[in-house]
């Protein structure tokens, strides 16, 4: 056993009272341990009393009291270090960073006095001698020291020498068992060297290590890592696609995104690697450009085994769902998360409910419009919405037609959206159940509109600005009007309707007028009629003008060649484009001229500094030219 002076190490006990206190505590603990082990009397070095073997109980109690006195007399500094070291030695892996290792500054602080290091080692040695680390298995001290050395070695190899994130490497070390860490860290080092040589940043390599610490040591740098990375970059076309579709900075980030986010692609699975997955996706109708697009948004797509792709595709192409094989590629491109092991299991009860209860015939239309229906529960999500619609008197078959026309109907919140809208129509507009049923059957998307942002402003415009006597009848004849923006669509169409000399009664008799496009049909056709001398002075003539295609309008109503109207449309589009460009320039000039006073002052100060810099540069240039002239 080491002497007390050796145990204290380089701590100056003569100059620091804390060192004397620790030395006294060390002596008492060792004496108590010797008395328990040997059972023979010895002289107490603190109080000079004779403690014989026949009076061990009194000696032990006396020494315990003396230990309590010493602990009470310990200074604040010693107590804080003692608490800190108890925590360091109690937490697995934390002891690796408590010694004077290169990473010590990031764990315990940036300033450490040599005496504090000696004090830590002294208290650690006292804890080991006093038996505080006993009871957790044999050779715990040796195991702890070996584990600490291993942790420090792995931290030095990965974080300090290769620049990986210290916190990331620490998380990997803490979640790995010591025996596994001893077997894996060399493989980690080899794989990290390969990834760094391929251009991956230290941050990317840290993310890969955190996501693949269980198998990264098994990968071969040449046969696995380089093969997969070069396949993604060269054969699959990540390099060329990124250069064409993204800027240089975005391309450099997205080039490594798939491997960084989904490191499983580096691992060869029993069913095949990433090459087999890409080949299978191409077989089910997903082109390479779709695979690139979907893998950037959902990198785990390249980890899907081929058997799962065939299983999901077979069920979606069956008669229960009804997808055509050539449509699966577009579906997977927009929703790559459908290639999941539980997709078929979750989709079967949903398909059975929609087909049997609601008699939905085009299930592929519902799934294409709302693919998240796979995640819905029949009893908790779908059944309550169906019951609400059935309470209005809508038959189940009609509800199925509504779901086919508007699949998002299955996703609307019940209490926050559907119930308030139905209550608004019944309470404020006076709709009956039958009228609600008729409107919802023709336009089920009305349940997705906001009362304050869509429905109420339109109702107020029709009632107050237009002056319609019966707003409910107008909405019944054209339910989509509730979704039209008031300011930049309905007001302009109403102003155009008034220019024709028509009033609110005519407007109520022709609700379809507001359903036509303002710049594709209304303004061009009315302008062409004026130029040809044909005026639509009543609603009947206006219906004829707006109905039919462009060729029928020019030939039957105006009586001119359809090509003349096509030339007029091209000229109108050019004039409209020029007018929009002029309006944009005018808005910019107005924004510049209406800047605030503070912004103008800032601009003036900046312009003044620039003028001073330019004048000083000109003076320097003049002096230089003058010196050259003098030399000449």
343, 376 contact by CB (below 8 A): no
Return d(Cα 379, Cα 259) in angstroms, integer. Answer: 40
Q: What is the pLDDT of residue 82?
A: 58
- The DSSP output letter for 199 is T
Q: What is the pLDDT of residue 530?
A: 86
Residue 391 Ramachandran class (φ > 0 left, ψ -120 to 50 alpha, else beta): alpha
440, 402 contact by CB (below 8 A): yes
Q: Euclidean distance between the first and final Cα of the chain, in Å?
A: 90
Lowest mean pLDDT among 168-172, 401-405, 593-597: 593-597
pLDDT mean over 159-172: 90
**Mean pLDDT of the chain, nearest integer:** 76
Higher pLDDT, 28 or 41: 28
Task: Point out which residues pair with 50 in neighbouring strands.
Answer: 43
pLDDT mean over 206-222: 91
Closest among 430, 422, 486 to 448, alpha carbons compared: 422
pLDDT band at 27 (very low <50, low <70, confident <90, very high): low
List pLDDT tens digits, range 277-287.
Answer: 999 999 998 98
- Cβ neighbours of residue 611 under 8 Å, at least 6 residues apart? none
Q: What is the pLDDT of residue 248?
A: 40
Task: Point out which residues pair with 42 in neighbouring strands.
Answer: 51
103, 161 contact by CB (below 8 A): no
Closest among 546, 534, 542 to 498, alpha carbons compared: 542
Task: Identify the helix (H) or strand (E) that includes residue 43.
Answer: strand 42-43
Q: What is the pLDDT of residue 556?
A: 82
- The DSSP output letter for 50 is E
Return d(Cα 338, Cα 335) in angstroms, integer. Answer: 6
The three-state DSSP-derived secondary structure of 525-536 is: HHHHHHHHCCCC
Lowest mean pLDDT among 160-174, 229-243, 312-326, 386-400: 229-243
Closest among 153, 155, 196 to 172, alpha carbons compared: 155
C-alpha R_g of the chain:
41
pLDDT band at 618 (very low <50, low <70, confident <90, very high): very low
pLDDT mean over 215-234: 89
pLDDT mean over 150-162: 88
Most confident stretch, 15-29, 142-156, 228-242, 507-521: 507-521
pTM beyond cutoff 0.95 = no
Q: What is the pLDDT of residue 128?
A: 43
Q: What is the pLDDT of residue 111?
A: 37
List pLDDT tens digits, range 548-597.
Answer: 888 888 888 888 888 889 999 999 889 888 888 888 888 887 777 665 55
List pLDDT tens digits, range 288-302.
Answer: 888 888 888 888 899
Q: What is the pLDDT of residue 620?
A: 43
10, 118 contact by CB (below 8 A): yes
Most confident stretch, 2-6, 27-31, 391-395, 407-411: 407-411
pLDDT band at 270 (very low <50, low <70, confident <90, very high): confident
CA dist 258 to 49, 240, 288, 473, Å?
Answer: 75, 15, 15, 56
């Amino acid at each position: 056993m080491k002497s007390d002076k050796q145990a204290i190490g380089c701590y100056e006990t003569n100059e620091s009272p804390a060192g004397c206190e620790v030395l006294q505590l060390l002596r008492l603990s060792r004496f108590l341990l010797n008395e328990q082990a040997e059972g023979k009397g010895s002289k107490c070095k603190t109080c000079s009393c004779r403690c014989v073997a026949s009076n061990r109980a009194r000696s032990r109690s006396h020494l315990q009291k003396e230990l309590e006195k010493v602990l009470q007399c310990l200074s604040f500094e010693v107590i804080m270090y003692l608490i800190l070291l108890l925590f360091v030695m109690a937490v697995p892996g934390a002891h690796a960073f408590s010694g004077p290792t290169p990473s010590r500054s990031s764990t315990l602080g940036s300033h450490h006095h040599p005496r504090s290091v000696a004090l830590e080692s002294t208290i650690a040695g006292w804890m080991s001698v006093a038996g505080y680390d006993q009871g957790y298995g044999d050779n715990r001290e040796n195991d702890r020291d070996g584990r600490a050395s291993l942790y420090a070695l792995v931290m030095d190899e990965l974080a300090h020498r290769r620049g990986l994130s210290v916190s990331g490497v620490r998380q990997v070390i803490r979640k790995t068992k010591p025996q596994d860490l001893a077997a894996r860290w060399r493989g980690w080092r080899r794989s990290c060297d390969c990834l760094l040589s391929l251009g991956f940043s230290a941050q990317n390599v840290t993310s890969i290590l955190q996501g693949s610490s269980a198998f990264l040591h098994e990968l071969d740098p040449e046969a696995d890592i380089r093969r997969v990375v070069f396949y993604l970059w060269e054969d699959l076309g990540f390099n060329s696609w990124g250069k064409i579709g993204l800027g240089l900075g975005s391309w450099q980030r997205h080039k490594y995104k798939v491997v960084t986010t989904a490191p499983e692609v580096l691992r060869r699975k029993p069913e095949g690697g990433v090459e087999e997955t890409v080949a299978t996706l191409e077989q089910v109708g997903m082109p390479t450009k779709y695979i690139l697009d979907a893998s950037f948004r959902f990198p785990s797509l390249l980890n899907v085994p081929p058997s799962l792709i065939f299983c999901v595709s077979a069920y979606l192409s069956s008669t229960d769902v009804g997808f055509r094989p050539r449509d699966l590629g577009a579906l997977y491109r927009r929703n790559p998360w459908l290639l999941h092991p539980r997709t078929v299991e979750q989709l079967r009860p949903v398909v059975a409910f929609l087909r049997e209860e609601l008699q939905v015939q085009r299930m592929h239309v519902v799934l294409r419009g709302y693919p998240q229906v796979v995640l819905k529960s029949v009893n908790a999500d779908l059944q309550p919405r169906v019951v609400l619609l059935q309470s209005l008197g809508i038959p189940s078959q009609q509800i199925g037609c509504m779901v086919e026309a508007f699949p998002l109907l299955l996703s609307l919140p019940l209490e926050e959206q559907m119930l308030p809208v139905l209550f608004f129509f019944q309470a404020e507009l006076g709709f009956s159940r039958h009228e609600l049923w008729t409107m919802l059957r023709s336009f089920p998307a009305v349940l997705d509109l906001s009362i304050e942002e869509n429905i109420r402003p339109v109702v107020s415009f029709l009632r107050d600005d237009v002056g319609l006597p019966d707003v409910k009848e107008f909405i019944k004849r054209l339910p989509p009007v509730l979704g039209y923006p008031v300011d930049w669509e309905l007001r302009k169409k109403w102003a155009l309707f008034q220019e024709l000399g028509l009033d609110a009664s005519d407007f109520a008799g022709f609700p379809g007028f507001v359903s036509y496009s303002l710049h594709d049909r209304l303004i061009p056709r009315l302008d062409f009629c004026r130029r040809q001398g044909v005026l639509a002075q009543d609603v009947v003539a206006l219906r004829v003008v707006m109905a039919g295609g462009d060729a029928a309008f020019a030939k039957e109503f105006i009586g001119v060649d359809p090509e003349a109207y096509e030339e007029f449309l091209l000229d109108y589009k050019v004039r409209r484009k020029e007018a929009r460009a002029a309006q944009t320039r005018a808005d910019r000039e107005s924004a510049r001229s209406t800047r605030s006073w503070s912004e103008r002052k800032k601009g003036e100060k900046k312009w003044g500094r620039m003028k001073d810099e330019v004048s000083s540069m000109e003076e320097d240039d003049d002096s230089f030219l003058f010196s050259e002239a003098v030399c000449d």
